[in-house]
Amino acid sequence: MGVVHETAEVELNGVPLGAAWKGARVLAVQNALRQGENLLRIDVANLWIHKVVNSAPWDRQRVAEVYGARWGEPDVPVPPELPPSGLLGPVRLVPLRRFRMTI
């Protein structure tokens, strides 16, 4: 799947292929792949900071009392640069080996 920030759950033709997290994001598709058209679904989850920075202001006092202050609180500045976010790809289907068969 190329570059994914942060995790991705993948499904091909309704068959769950698993989750990709950290390191190489490579999943086997042999049991789900069909000849012709295929439907690939990738659900990506990002870091919480992306949600906080891009949401409307809300009362974070209770969260700060329980877990401590985090990014976006008045006394904790938002980082000047956020980490990358989403499915950056490239998403590719790569054969691991080629073989020829005569019937």
Three-class secondary structure of residue 88 per DSSP: strand
Q: What is the pLDDT of residues 29-70, one digit of tens each?
A: 878 998 889 999 999 998 888 887 777 877 777 777 887 766
Give the residue extent of every domain in the chain: 3-89
17: left (phi over 0), alpha (psi -120 to 50) or beta: alpha
Q: What is the pLDDT of residues 8-25, one digit of tens each?
A: 999 999 999 999 886 667
Tokens 């792949």: give the residue.
33
